Structure 1
Amino acid sequence: MIDALQAFMSNFAGYGDLRAPLWFVGMEEGGGRDVNELVRRVDAWDVRGRQRLENLAGYHRAIGMSRHFEAPFPLQRTWGPLARVLQASRGASNDISDLRHVQATQLGAHGGGAALLELLPLPAPNTNTWPYSALAKDVPALRDRATYRTTYEPARRAMLRALIQEGCPRAVICYGLGYLESWTALAGAPLRPITVAARACYVGEVSGSMLLAVPHPVAHGGTARFWEAVGSAVAAAPS
């Protein structure tokens, strides 16, 4: 388990396809309520070939978390708005039935239209919860969230920058403005403040791709109009 866990933290970037034109980058994946869930995630990743980018639906079925990929395909709080951005970026329908289809079959899918990546490798229910301190006897950096972040964020940021350079997406959308410092470090240069549908956002460039930092999908004020405007901003960016 420890060998696979360390490989997971160093090499697992998220879900989707490097060829996708649109990438979403979050600070960390939700979930991870206890060590047992992490074990299921790492074991599934190990058995499925330790892929750098997994298939979102297939992986979640493998870990027993398939609710959002089975009828009636309920929209997940984060993935639903991201599906709306993807649809708006290509001028497609944003009907609820279409968003459900996009979430289930295209977000984070191999060959899909959008990759979902994370700056930090381990899932957590929120930033105030750290369920992995029991693993610190084998992985000392996991004793607390601050140590974990200091240890892993720089290398993970370099990995993401290399993947962006390799995949050359049209746009990289980083969500969660509480981590603006991290998104600025990913870009390697100051981001310029802009307004999108009356909300503060930031824009710059990373490895030749547009970088747009936006509020987290679950943050207050994230209307359908806002997420569609984010998609329109991506569509208007030079290719």
Structure 2
Amino acid sequence: MLIEENALKHWIDNFYGYGSWQARFWFVGYEESGGEVPEEVADKVNYFNRVHASSDGALCDIRELYRHVAIQWDGPKKNLFTNRYEYRFDTNAIQHGVWKNLIAFEHGYRGEKVPDVLAYQKDAFASPATHKEALIPLYPLPSPHNHAWYYSWLDMPQLGFLKSRALYQEHAYQRRMQQILSNISAYKPELVLMYGMDNIITLKKTVQAFFPDAQFKMIKAIKLQIPQHHRADLHGTTLLITTQIPALRHNRIETGFDWEAFGKSVSL
């Protein structure tokens, strides 16, 4: 299946993630995951173009979108799953390394016992019906773990900015941040956690341009417990920004933090 220019442009302009804007917790990652093969990107953008053609600003139902994204793996796992829904939400679903820590963070913040994380992932996480979590990428295009930029080869006259990641991010950043901040003002989530960010100075300036009275406080890291982060109050919404990703880097325990403890510390 080919990536179509109009569908890809519609995704870039209108895809903001999964769940519900009415959710209590917004988890804003640096970019949409995936994109190792063009077929996966095509599956996502074509589904979105078909189901969200009206550009009404609603977030996607992650379970429904994932049903339409075929697994393209080779190797021993090739025949275990046919689509992303089976991989993350069905009977034999695999626990997501980042989501498990976001779930722990959320329950720590709420002062509740962390549930069976895999069961919560399958049944409730980022469901638009529960209004508990929203998963929002700062940048919308699916990007693989190796951070390769596979979009430069696309011959799409409307999307010349895809020739480099820098051009694409320059094109997307201001509009997306303005929409996210506008929605924070409108929907007033209890907490917004922006994680894995590498542009914190720019982000803080953008936030303060939208919320002029916002004052950031930097909280230092506690090794293996609390990541360094920046905190501001946005008229009742707690905003946290951190460079840390809720997962181990290269599976090394010394790169991790206790995300349940992090959530508890924020709620104090």
Scaled by the length of structure 1, the TM-score of the pair is 0.87
- Structure 2 CA distance for partners of 1:171 and 1:163, relative to 1, 3 Å: same
Q: Per the alignment, do residues 232 and 136 of structure 1 end up closer, same or farther by CA in structure 2, a change over 3 Å counting?
A: farther
**2:135 corresponds to:** 116
CA contact (8 A) 1:107 1:116 kept: no
Structure-2 residue corresponding to 1:231? 263
Summarize deviations over 1:76-115 as a string: whole Å, max 9, x none.
Answer: 12111111112222233325xx211222233221033111
Counterpart amino acid of residue 182 in structure 2:
A
- Helix, strand or coil for the counterpart of 2:142? coil
Percent identity (aligned)? 26
- The corresponding residue for 2:154 is 135
Write the distance in 1 (CA, Å) between the matches of 2:261 and 2:220: 10
Counterpart contact for 1:81–1:227, Cα < 8 Å: yes
Q: Is the 8 A contact 2:226 2:259 kept in 1?
A: no
Q: For residue 63 of structure 2, what is the amino acid of its counterpart? A: A
SS state of the match for residue 153, structure 2?
A: helix
1:193 to 201, 210, 218: 218
TM-fit CA distance, 1:135:
2.1
Q: Is the 8 A contact 2:32 2:141 kept in 1?
A: yes
Checking the alignment, whether the CA contact within 8 Å between 1:32 and 1:124 is kept in structure 2 is yes
Q: 1:167 to 1:69 in 2, by over 3 A?
A: same
What is the CA-CA distance between 1:191 and the residue it aligns to?
A: 3.0
Alpha-carbon distance change, 17 to 208 in structure 1, aligned in 2, over 3 angstroms:
same
Aligned residues: 232
In the alignment, the residues of structure 2 paired with residue 198 and residue 13 of structure 1 have an alpha-carbon distance, to the nearest angstrom, of 28
Contact 1:187 1:204 in 2 (8 A): no
In 2, distance between residues paired with 1:21 and 1:49? 23
What is the one-letter code of the residue matched to 2:24?
Answer: P
Contact 2:105 2:263 (8 Å CA) reproduced = yes
CA contact (8 A) 1:187 1:206 kept: no
Q: Is 35-44 or 211-220 further displaced after alignment?
A: 211-220
Are positions 1:60 and 2:88 aligned together? no
Q: 1:85 aligns with which of 101, 105, 117?
A: 105
Q: Is the 8 A contact 1:14 1:117 kept in 2?
A: yes
Distance 1:12 1:213 in 2: 22
Q: Is the 8 A contact 2:20 2:58 kept in 1?
A: no
Q: Which 10-residue stretch deviates more, 11-20 or 124-133?
A: 124-133
Consecutive unaligned residues of structure 1, counting only runs of 5 or more, are none
**Any idea what the Cα deviations from partners look like across 1:186-233, whole Å, max 9, x if unmatched?**
42266321136353221113464111123111244323xx20122213
Q: CA deviation at 1:123?
A: 1.0
Q: CA deviation at 1:182?
A: 4.5
Q: Which moved more, 1:167-176 or 1:81-90?
A: 81-90
Bigger Cα Rg:
2
Q: Is the 8 A contact 2:219 2:228 kept in 1?
A: yes
TM-score (norm 2): 0.78
Offset from partner CA, 1:1-45 (integer Å, 9 cap, x none): 322221211111101111111110011011111332211101111
* Structure 1: 4+ residue segments shifted above 4 A: none
Greater helix fraction, Structure 1 or Structure 2: 1
Deviations 1:110-161 (A, max 9, x none): 0331111011110101473101112243310101101101111111111111
